Amino acid sequence: MENVIPVNEPAPEAETDEKGPSKSALKKAAKEKEKAEKAAKRAQAEEAQRKEAEANDVSKDDYGDLPPDGTLPLPMFEDDKVPFVELSELPELFSDTTKLDEPQGPHVILKARVSNARTQSAKLAFLELRDRLDTIQAVVAASDTLSRQMIKFCASIPSESVVVVHALVKKPKDPVKSATISELELHIKKLYVESRAMTQLPMQVADAERAIPAEGEEESADGPIVTLNTRLNNRVIDLRANLNQAIFAIKFGVEDFFREFLKSRGFTGIHTPKLLGAPSEGGANVFEVKYFGTKAYLAQSPQLYKQMLIASDMKRVMEVGPIFRAENSNTARHLTEFVGLDLEMAFNKHYHEVVSLLEELMLYIFNGLKEKYKRETDLLRSVYKVDEFKLPEAGKVPRLNFAEGIKMLRDAGEEIGDFDDLTTPQEKKLGALVLEKYGSDFYVLDQFPLAIRPFYTMPSAETQAKYDSANPNAGYSNSYDFFMRGQEIMSGAQRIHRAEYLEQRMKEHVSPVDPNSDGLRDYVQAFREGCSKHAGGGIGLERIVMLWLGLPNVRLASLFPRDPGRKTP
């Protein structure tokens, strides 16, 4: 819940005027003086009492705040027989709960957050301890060796503080339903605060466990929810939610599967420059940087560089890195900085060799997610109420020609020209039609119209054969888009590998560019120096995560998202 700050408090009344203090004012001042003296005395007495209590506190070395560097008191470690464990390890370590009935039963040391602390009585407090996805109940009970002062201390620890505890592991009388580890309970012997959280947090972790509404949708009926904006402003707390831990585990999984598959196919990881001397891809939507008295620009993709590396005989290259787009779009689908998964490869005979490899790559990622991230995927789908992502049967990815896609749309009543680009609603509609016909949320659209692709796209052989200088952008190209749930996740193509043809296409393109411009000169030169046939593609990492899980906003898949209005935290 967000902080509620009372804004209608009455202003304090004016108590003096120009004539000097009145009788009643003097009387009031005297009263206040008396009150202050009493309070001071009381505080003094309390302090004396506290000191005496502390001196008599049998537990005084067993709890407290650690020093700033977090050094644990030596006694905590003197007994090396007590293992330092992770909360998540407990169920497996103590799966045989019958052994937990011994009075001198097993002790552990562990670190966790206090997600909740409360007193039952002066003699008993309960803490809920949390460590990522796991929670457990901890009991602090007064005894000859555990003081009431310690109970008071434990019960007053603010939520989200980090504590180190030394505890006896026991089996609770009844399973603790509120905890994920319900068959075990910790009986605290020692407790130290490593990091004390502020008492009034700007939002609660629990707030972040709920779905955010999709664009245009109403907020959930069951009570107000913390807005996406508030969550992103308080991202450090927000990310502690299981929902977010799951999203970023999956994001890492996608990246890892991407690398793993491509590495096994002989790809080399590369790093192309993000600072460029001139805008290279058209010039629009590029961020400008001050560079030692000159200007530089942030790379909008590794496109030109990964092609130059093919010309350098690197053969198969992949890059995972930031992509910068200065597009002033404030939609649920756009970020100004995102993670690009890029690849480029030389091929032997036909660019479909590359398309097939890319299809295999995506299936490898999807199957990996199904297998290794089921818990995380299920959690997200249950909260966001999203259908399971349907993979093609027998691993045969539907690959349609663009013309075929247009026909399907027309048959479904859509009005669209042969060479028109698809609008977002048309893409979604085609996705639905493909799902219906082929039973797959994933498909490939091949042979896009030449006119709607970038200048470096290879026209198809048929288009080259029918070339007409009066209409040089007619026909199709060896280019493809990959779709998930009816939204594009990857764009790719065979690229032009010969300098003279590239120069021709640069000039003839719908948006012509100058082969001799600062941003393109070195690129064109690369092909003059000899270059193999090649094709490749680029994938938005956040988009795959969003579409795999059916999230309503791409910002949810970025740790610290950037858009035209957001550059913090």
Q: Which residue has the tokens 């009570």?
A: 223
Q: State the nearest-atom distance from the C-beta of 296 to a copy of itself, in Å.
A: 5
With a CB cutoff of 8 Å and minimum separation 6, the contacts of 513 are 282, 455, 506, 520
Determine if 459 is a binding residue for a copy of itself (CB under 8 A).
yes
- What b/e readout covers 43-65, taking b as 16+ CB neighbours within 10 angstroms? eeeeeeeeeeeeeebebeebbee
Catalytic residue check, 528? no
Q: How many CB atoms are located within 10 Å of the residue 206 CB?
A: 13
Reported as half-sphere exposure (CB side, CA atoms, 13 A), residue 394 has a value of 3
Catalytic residue check, 325? yes
Specify the stretch interacting with a copy of itself by CB under 8 A; choose among 15-23, 238-246, 391-399, 414-422.
238-246
- What b/e readout covers 388-404, taking b as 16+ CB neighbours within 10 angstroms? ebebbeeeebbbbebee
Strand pairing report for 134-141 and 162-170: unpaired
Number of residues that make up the chain: 569
CB nearer to a copy of itself: pick between 217 and 500: 500
Q: State the nearest-atom distance from the C-beta of 501 to a copy of itself, in Å.
A: 4
Residues 393-432 that bind a copy of itself (CB under 8 A): none
Specify the stretch interacting with a copy of itself by CB under 8 A; choose among 29-37, 64-72, 96-104, 359-367.
64-72
Q: State the nearest-atom distance from the C-beta of 3 to a copy of itself, in Å.
A: 13
Find the helix or strand (DSSP H, E) in which 323 lies.
strand 316-324
Specify the stretch interacting with a copy of itself by CB under 8 A; choose among 16-24, 121-129, 230-238, 394-402.
230-238
Q: Which residue has the tokens 């819940």?
A: 1
Q: What is the spatial distance between Cα 229 and Cα 223, in angstroms, rounded to a whole number?
A: 17
Q: What angle separates helix 541-549 from helix 242-264, to the nearest 10 degrees?
A: 120
Determine if 263 is a binding residue for a copy of itself (CB under 8 A).
yes
Residues 493-532 that bind a copy of itself (CB under 8 A): 494, 496-498, 501, 518, 522-523, 525-532
Determine if 170 is a binding residue for a copy of itself (CB under 8 A).
no
Alpha carbon 381 to chain centroid distance? 16
Determine if 291 is a binding residue for a copy of itself (CB under 8 A).
yes
Determine if 326 is a binding residue for a copy of itself (CB under 8 A).
yes
Pick the closest to residue 167 from 194, 148, 141 (CA basis): 141
Contact (CB, 8 A) for 513 and 506: yes
Specify the stretch interacting with a copy of itself by CB under 8 A; choose among 92-100, 144-152, 244-252, 432-440.
244-252
Pick the closest to residue 213 from 230, 225, 205 (CA basis): 225
Candidate list 86, 255, 327, 414, residue with the active-site label: 327
Determine if 81 is a binding residue for a copy of itself (CB under 8 A).
no
Contact (CB, 8 A) for 36 and 28: no
Determine if 343 is a binding residue for a copy of itself (CB under 8 A).
no
Beta-bridge partner residues of 140: 125
Reported as half-sphere exposure (CB side, CA atoms, 13 A), residue 514 has a value of 7
With a CB cutoff of 8 Å and minimum separation 6, the contacts of 282 are 511, 513
Catalytic residue check, 333? yes
Catalytic residue check, 265? no
CB nearer to a copy of itself: pick between 193 and 433: 193
CB nearer to a copy of itself: pick between 337 and 414: 337
Residues 114-133 that bind a copy of itself (CB under 8 A): 131-132
Determine if 39 is a binding residue for a copy of itself (CB under 8 A).
no
DSSP SS3 for 488: strand
Q: State the nearest-atom distance from the C-beta of 445 to a copy of itself, in Å.
A: 20
Q: State the nearest-atom distance from the C-beta of 89 to a copy of itself, in Å.
A: 12
Catalytic residue check, 319? no
CB nearer to a copy of itself: pick between 438 and 501: 501
Determine if 83 is a binding residue for a copy of itself (CB under 8 A).
no
State phi, psi for 97 to the nearest 5 degrees. Answer: -75, -10
Specify the stretch interacting with a copy of itself by CB under 8 A; choose among 30-38, 39-47, 256-264, 444-452.
256-264
Q: Which residue has the tokens 């009145």?
A: 22
Q: Where are the alpha helices (DSSP H) in 175-327?
A: 228-233, 235-238, 242-264, 303-311
Q: What angle separates helix 499-508 from helix 521-528, to the nearest 10 degrees?
A: 140
Q: What is the spatial distance between Cα 355 and Cα 363, in angstroms, rounded to a whole number?
A: 12
CB nearer to a copy of itself: pick between 73 and 172: 73
Candidate list 182, 491, 517, 562, residue with the active-site label: 491
Q: Which of 121, 178, 229, 464 binds a copy of itself (CB under 8 A)?
A: 464
Determine if 336 is a binding residue for a copy of itself (CB under 8 A).
yes
Q: Which of 184, 246, 311, 369 binds a copy of itself (CB under 8 A)?
A: 311
Catalytic residue check, 132? no
Specify the stretch interacting with a copy of itself by CB under 8 A; choose among 1-9, 167-175, 269-277, 444-452.
269-277
Q: Which of 44, 268, 331, 382 binds a copy of itself (CB under 8 A)?
A: 268
Q: State the nearest-atom distance from the C-beta of 464 to a copy of itself, in Å.
A: 6
Determine if 183 is a binding residue for a copy of itself (CB under 8 A).
no
Specify the stretch interacting with a copy of itself by CB under 8 A; choose among 33-41, 62-70, 359-367, 416-424.
62-70
Catalytic residue numbers, as ranges: 325, 327, 333-334, 488, 491, 543
